[in-house]
Amino acid sequence: MDRFHQLQVYVAVAEEEGFAAAARRLQLSPPAVTRAVAALEDILGVKLLDRTTRCVRVTEAGRRYLEDARQILAGMKAADEAAAGINAEPRGHLAVTAPVLFGRLFVMPGIIAYLERFPAMAVDAIFLDRPVNLLEEGLDVGVRIGELADSSMRALRVGGVRHVLVAAPAYLQRYGSPRVPADLREHTLIAPTAGGFGVGWRFAEAAGDHLLKINARLKVTSNDAAITAALAGFGIARLLSYQVAEEVAAGRLRLLMPEYDPPQYPVHILHREGRHAPVRVRAFIDLMAEMLRADGTLNPGTVAG
């Protein structure tokens, strides 16, 4: 039996978590799918899947083998695309994820430009303010803000952002401006909980980083809501620099104590295909990286052409 065929079948069963679903995906009969996986397990001498009456789950050995199998299949696909022509037009489907507000402001323009450039492509945009595992959730490309913990992903740095304190001029005129982080305890604070940055606010001080525990009067689950409250003059909010760049530039919000801002958080484009990424993925990453690196909000001093 063709080993390449066995790998395709195994990946489908593992991803669909079932033999019948994999058979439908591959347009094969269920017995043919069962035989292919059984033959592969016999060749390897290990159990790749745990089968129950309700579902199918990969074993520990199967999980490691699944990633290798995906890379082999991706490499074959890349080789086919290269043989068809390195400049072959992307076609098919792409799933992209990013934080909600970053996705709306920066990634969506890239997606639209990509779809306009490549009419044979379709894109699913999944914008979520929570950590997303590209491999487990079947996504092709992600934009992530912050230090990377997952070394299995390919990462391309495209800029950086930082936490900033902002307030409306009306609030500052009424209550004054804090001069040091400790002064924030005397102010009305707005704390967005999206993005997983925690309840404390970290500041860079002469003695080193300092985490200030805050008691926010208003906690909101979305960054948009925090910006709305700050614009209304309700209090001081802490947000990422890109989220309020437009309001700060227009004078609707003012930056507070920038000398205490903590170091930048890097912005990366992630993908799981490695150097064997198909044309559709490489084309999107190239376009998105060019747009993000040209944006002065993420790369101060850059002038977009």
Question: Does residue 265 have a pLDDT over 80?
Answer: yes
pLDDT in tens, 105-154: 999 999 999 999 999 999 999 999 887 888 778 889 999 998 887 556 78
Q: What is the mean pLDDT of residues 250-279?
A: 87
In sequence order, what are the residues at sequence separation of 6 or more whose Cβ sits closer than 8 angstroms to the Cβ of residue 35? 1
Position of tokens 């409306």? 168
Torsion angle (degrees, nearest 10) of CA 130, 133, 136, 142: 100
Tokens of 204: 């860079």
Tokens of 286: 């190239």
Question: Does residue 305 have a pLDDT over 50?
Answer: no
Mean pLDDT of all residues belonging to the chain = 87
pLDDT in tens, 205-230: 776 678 888 889 999 988 999 999 99
Taking the domain 163-260, which CATH number applies? Answer: 3.40.190.10
Same CATH topology for 92-159+265-293 and 163-260: the answer is: yes
Query: What backbone torsions phi and psi does residue 159 show, to the nearest 5 degrees?
Result: 165, -165
pLDDT in tens, 224-251: 999 999 999 999 999 999 999 999 999 9
Taking the domain 3-84, which CATH number applies? Answer: 1.10.10.10
Name which of 163, 167, 243, 248 is nearest 203 in CA terms: 163
Does pTM surpass 0.85?
no
Cα end-to-end distance, the chain, whole Å: 55
pLDDT in tens, 154-205: 889 999 999 999 999 999 999 999 999 999 999 999 998 875 555 689 898 7
* Spatial separation of the C-alpha atoms in residues 251 and 294, rounded to whole Å: 23
Tokens of 187: 């102010």
Q: What's the pLDDT band for 3 if we cut at 50, 70, 90?
A: confident
CATH architecture of 92-159+265-293: 3-Layer(aba) Sandwich (3.40)
